[in-house]
Chains A and B, each alone.
Chain A
Amino acid sequence: MTLPRISIKPTLFHLLRRLPMPVIGILIGLIAGLAVWIVLDQVQSKAVERIFGRELSMRLDLRARESLIRFEQYMTNYAATTRLLANHRRLAQYLEPLFWFPGETFEPVVYAGFRPFWLPDVFGRNALLAPSHVLLVDSRGLVREVYQAGDEALPEELTGNLRQWLGDLDEVQRILARFDDQPYLVVSDRVEDASGYTMGSLVVLVPVDAAFLAASEGSFSADRSAVALIDADEQRILASNEPQQLIPGSLLSEWSDEYLVTSQSLPAYEGSNWNMLFATFIPERLVAKMSSNVSDFERNQRLIAALVFIAVFTLVIYLVSARLNKVLKRMTRFSQRALGIAQPGFKGGGNQLLLLEEWMQHFTSLVLRAREEMRRKHEHEMRETEALKAAIMEASLDAIVTLNRAGAVIDYNPTAERMLGFDRQAIIGLDFVHTFVAPSDRAHFIGLLRDSSRRGPLGERPHARTELRAVRGHEQLFPIEISIVPIALDEEPVYTLYIHDITKRKEAEREIKGLARFASESPSPILRVNGAARIVYANAASQPLIQAWETESSGPLPTRWCEQVRAVLEGGETLEHEDDLGSTIYSLLFVPIQDLGYVNIYARDITAVRRAEQESRQHQAELVHVCRLSTMGEVATGMAHELNQPLAAIVNYANGASRRLKSGQGDSAELVDAMAHISGQAQRAGEIIKRLRALVGKQQPIRSAVDLNLLVREVCSFVEFETAKLELQIEQQLAEEAIPVDVDLVQIEQVLLNLVRNALDALEERMPGERALLINTRRVDDRALVRVWDNGPGIPPERMSLLFDPFFTTKETGMGMGLPISLTILEDHDGTIRAESRPGAGTTFQVELPVAADDVETSARAGTLEPSAARTLTLIEQPGAEVAHG
């Protein structure tokens, strides 16, 4: 691989490649920071010096002025003190008696070394240096008295007339004068005696020497600056506050190297006899030191600032470049992965920017190679697909035709040629619709073609599959099934049609349809259900049945038949059942078709047959029921009403009669009549009761010979509905042979029915599934026995004795007449009834009837029983074994 070299020296480039970007970032930051600092340092130093020089001269100026002001202030203090002294009480008192004659000659009085009375020590009090001389001068200017502090005599110039020094006497006057090279401060003021007479002047003389200057500047010399009085003409120092350093008499120029000198004129002292300047000296080294201090400090500050700046700058560069490095590294890794380059491009370290640039070239070549490879692979796949497609087209049993958007054929397979009856090349370019689709179906087909490329709301394709009729060889019509698949190519959409010749299938379908009509035309319901008992076929006639089952043509069978369907399918045997749907009864024939897993159900409406059977049975049941009710219930109610009438009348007659008898009114004939009425009404009540009794035994029993077993079966069928409701099957243990009895059929049925109903009522208190009801019949000699046993709650012993009493009942709706009437009926038949009960375990009623006479005779002839014995049996009421069934 050749890499384009960036035009840097190879060694330097190599180094750059090696250094990671963050390191380069730090280096750049440091170098740049250093360069900037060096430049800035030069510029700034100069600027600082300039500013400092300006500041220094200003401060020196200020300092000089301050010194001068202090000096002047000090002198002013002398003026004020002099004024105080001149006007002092003592001086006035002293002068009072004196009078200096103008013309007299005199010698001045000299106080040497001691203070006269008129001179109090005010200077010391005012923190001023004591003056060297204090003079009293008369109004002509002649010195009269002199106070001399030290040894020093009064200067020569002042011994004569002092007029020139005094000036205007109204104001205090101060003058700097030079006497004998020594500068002095001369302060004078007018003095008056106590009576206000002007005597002359007071003159105070103070030498301006080192002490004076030092005192004037006070302690203000911390910076070792000095002050001096200078003769302006001679440029000579007259007096200084530091006489050891600034020697009086020396020339000013001698000090210009060592000190910075600022000289100022003293304009306030014009009356002076010489030209003076006030100079301030500040040592040069002091200034230099200060200057260097300032610049050093400033440089330090600058250095710290620069270091901080460089550090921050470097850090920022470092962070940015580190981040950049990471990103570039990741980019590199990503591109490596994306291009699938196995060999690592670079190690972790190094300058990622440069490395990436190098690798860019590598990537480009890799991409080009990969693209080339993919293209080759794709071409290969294309060729394979083409071959595969051609094979599929060749082998397909369906005709495959491809149409362009205009509907012209652009491709086809051999099956299409055969099916459509066209030569190979003749098909291409033909309009498919008008050539191959039957005219009647063309609109439909075009519609399908159009719709096939549309998509539903959820993006699904419409089911572009349909049955059409096609044309073979311009004339022959034949049915096809066609499926349209649109292919969205870039240039234009094309359609692939899969065409299947369904001529044979159609024929078969027609055949099957014809056969299927057998079932559909049947007047009886015919259904087919699958293994899950779901209806898969139902003919028209089965609609009523399906409705009665409350299901649908493709719904499930009622659950009661599901089990049946399974059983028939497993057993493989045909079964027949009846289904009572209330209004209609069907006989259902279940025929399994095991290999298909279906069961065919052939239903027959047998309502009429069963209705007829049931009607006759129900008729009998109703008869018995009506009989029972009319004799028991309604009659009893009516009876109560009817009895009420005669009873009320009797009560009225009796009450009326007793009232009449009590009150003594009414004749006996009347009372007898009333009595007659009473007895008549009582008779009437009796009649009513008799009528009731007669009701039971009213009909003369119509005796006929009948099988007792048959009676039991009949009775059981009467209560089928009730037993079904209680989910109970009456167990019939009947004698194998017929037991002929000579009875009134209806009455005995009524007795049995009554017992069975009682048992059913008792069983209602048991849980479903625990209920049992057993009836057995047997013959013992010439007696026929029927036992009705139930496992109901039984009858409590205390009720057993009341069992056959009229109107005794345990039921809310009962009349309490069932068992009494049964008893009466059985008595009529020479039969008996008895009851046994164990509370909690059940109750048994046993009915005994004589066997029919003919049969008994037969038996008697056989030597089994005396016929007369049958007649001797009567009702047996076992003590404690009977009770309250209504």
Chain B
Amino acid sequence: MSKELTVFVVDDDQAMRGSLQWLIESVGMQVETFDSAHAFLDAYYPGRAGCLLLDVRMPVMSGLELQEYLGRREIRLPVIVITGHGDVAMAVKAMKAGAVDFIEKPFDDEQLLSSIRKALEYDEQHRALYARKAEIATRLAELTPREREVMAMVTDGKSNKEIASALSVSAKTVEVHRARVMDKMRADSLAELVRMALIASTPT
């Protein structure tokens, strides 16, 4: 778990915020607290990794509304919903809207913390994948159209000669293109190049 991961706590009750921070920091995680959804939205920018601990019952903008808003903005921060006694219907709604978990007050600390860990892990993986993909996309952008063609055929498992005949060029030329693709994509091996092509084609 890297240092940049933050647990964002949004709750209108000061005591809740303080106690949650106290509890979560006890396992060494970084915590930031906000007293309202707006305060959170003001402070948060999309690149920040972590998870969101959200009270469903809040004045002005409820947890559900915030969750919906984030969804619309395609901010894929994992959300854990906190509910009070008797808010189960609301929790179900939140889960349906994509929350990773929901926790009822008062909390079982183990359950809360494991839920947070899971959410962070999910976020990290998601972000790593996303970052990798972005990186590959940048590198792909550097390729010329012909190089992209060559790369597609190479990762498709075609030999140099096959590519040469398909593109009506000499095998030597293909060799040159291929070397340049490997160089531009910063791939050490053909296997890595294939992996990159796969990642680039997976949907986020």
Give the B-binding residues of A (Cβ under 8 A): 640-641, 644-653, 655-657, 659-660, 663, 665-666, 674, 677, 680-681, 684
Pairwise interchain contact A652-B84, C-beta atoms closer than 8 A = no
**Does B20 have its Cβ within 8 Å of any Cβ on chain A?**
yes
Closest B residue by C-beta to A637: B86
Say which residue of A657, A659, A666, A677 sits within 8 Å of B15 (CB atoms).
Answer: A677
Distance from B30 Cβ to chain A, minimum over Cβ atoms (Å): 15
In contact, B26 and A677 (Cβ under 8 angstroms): no
Q: Report the separation of the CA atoms of residues A650 and B106 in the bound assembly, to the nearest whole angstrom.
A: 9
**B19: CB under 8 A from chain A?**
yes
17 contacts between A and B (CB under 8 A): A640-B85, A644-B84, A645-B105, A647-B106, A648-B105, A649-B16, A649-B19, A652-B107, A653-B18, A653-B22, A655-B107, A656-B22, A663-B26, A665-B26, A680-B15, A681-B19, A684-B15
What range describes how many residues of B lie at the interface? 20 to 34
Say which residue of A641, A665, A681 sits within 8 Å of B85 (CB atoms): A641
- Residue of B19, B28, B86 near A652 (CB, 8 A) is B19
Instruction: For A684, list chain B residues within 8 Å (CB).
Output: 15
Decide if B15 touches A656 in the complex (CB within 8 Å): no
Cβ-defined contact, B23 with A655, below 8 A: yes
Q: CB distance B26 to A644 under 8 Å?
A: no
In the assembled complex, the CB of B115 is this many whole angstroms from the nearest CB of chain A, namely 14
B1 within 8 A of A: no
Q: For residue A666, which residue of chain B has the nearest CB? A: B26
Taking a contact as CB atoms under 8 Å apart, the answer to whether B26 and A659 are in contact is yes
Cα A652 to Cα B106 with chains together (Å)? 8
Complex contacts, B20 vs chain A, CB 8 Å: 652
- Interchain pairs with CB closer than 8 A, number: 75
Taking the closest CB of chain B, its distance from the CB of A657, in whole angstroms, is 8
Task: Report if B13 contacts A (CB, 8 A).
Answer: yes
- Check if B85 sits within 8 Å of A677, measured CB to CB: no
A647–chain B nearest beta-carbon distance, Å: 5
Q: Give the chain B neighbours of A659 by CB distance below 8 A.
A: 23, 26-27, 109
Query: B162 within 8 Å of A by Cβ?
Result: no
Give Cα distance in the complex from A437 to B55, angstroms.
Answer: 98
Whether B192 sits at the interface, judged by CB under 8 Å, is no
Contacts of A647 in B (CB 8 A): 105-106
Cross-chain contact of A656 among B13, B26, B85, B105 (Cβ < 8 A): B26
Q: Which single member of B16, B22, B28, B86 contacts A648 (CB below 8 Å)?
A: B16
In the complex the two chains form, what is the Cα distance from A680 to B16 in whole Å? Answer: 12
User: Given A644-B106, A659-B109, A652–B13 Cβ distance below 8 Å?
Assistant: no
On chain A, the residues within 8 Å of B28 by CB distance are 665
B32 within 8 A of A: no
Residues of A within 8 A of B16 (CB): 645, 648-649, 652
**A8 vs B62: C-alpha distance when bound (angstroms):** 139
Closest to A670 in B: B22
Cα A674 to Cα B19 with chains together (Å): 8
Could you tell me the distance between the alpha carbons of A430 and B20 in the complex, rounded to whole angstroms? Answer: 121
Complex: how many Å from CA A641 to CA B15?
15
B-chain residues with CB within 8 Å of residue A644 when the two chains form the complex: 84-85, 105-106
Known: A641-B84, A641-B85. A648 touches B26 (CB 8 A): no
User: Who on chain B is nearest to A655 by CB?
Assistant: B109
> Does B135 count as interface, using CB distance less than 8 angstroms?
no
Q: Give B19's nearest chain A residue, CB to CB.
A: A652
Residues of chain B lying within 8 A (CB to CB) of residue A649: 13, 15-16, 18-19
Contacts of B22 in A (CB 8 A): 652-653, 656-657, 674, 677
* B25 within 8 Å of A (CB atoms): yes
CB closest chain-A residue, reference B13: A645
A653 to B18, CA, bound (A): 8
Interface 0/1 of B99-125, CB less than 8 Å to A: 000000111010000000000000000
**A648 to B: closest C-beta gap in Å:** 4
Could you say which residues of chain A place their CB within 8 Å of the CB of B26? Answer: 655-657, 659-660, 663, 665-666
Which of A640, A645, A649, A651 has the largest number of chain B CB atoms within 10 A?
A: A649
Q: A656 with B84: in contact, given A646-B15, A649-B18 (CB under 8 Å)?
A: no
Within 8 Å CB of A648, what residues of B?
A: 16, 19, 105-107
Q: How far is the CA of A641 from the CA of B16 in the complex (A)?
A: 14
Minimum CB–CB distance from B80 to chain A (whole Å) comes to 14
Whether B109 lies near A652 (C-beta < 8 A) is yes
The reply to whether B107 and A656 form a contact with Cβ atoms under 8 Å apart is no
Q: How far is B50's CA from A742's CA once the two chains are assembled, in angstroms?
A: 67
When distances are taken between beta carbons in the complex, the residues of chain A under 8 Å from B109 are 651-652, 655-656, 659
Residue from B13, B20, B22, B23 having most chain A Cβ neighbours under 10 A: B22
Q: Is the CB of A651 within 8 A of B85?
A: no
Of the residues A651, A660, A674, contact of B107 by C-beta under 8 Å: A651
B17 (CB) vs chain A CBs: closest residue: A649
Residues of A within 8 A of B19 (CB): 648-653, 656, 677, 681
9 extra A-B contacts, CB within 8 A, seeds A641-B86, A649-B13, A651-B107: A645-B15, A645-B84, A648-B16, A648-B19, A648-B107, A649-B16, A653-B18, A655-B23, A684-B15
**Closest Cβ–Cβ distance, residue B125 to chain A (whole Å):** 26
Contacts of A674 in B (CB 8 A): 22
A458 to chain B, nearest CB (A): 71
B106 touches A656 (CB 8 A): no
Most buried by B among A655, A657, A680, A681: A655
Residues of B within 8 A of A666 (CB): 26
Contacts of B105 on A, CB cut-off 8 Å? 644-645, 647-648
Give the residues in chain B near A650, CB-CB below 8 Å.
19, 106
Pick from A647, A659, A665, A674 the residue with the most CB of B within 10 Å: A659
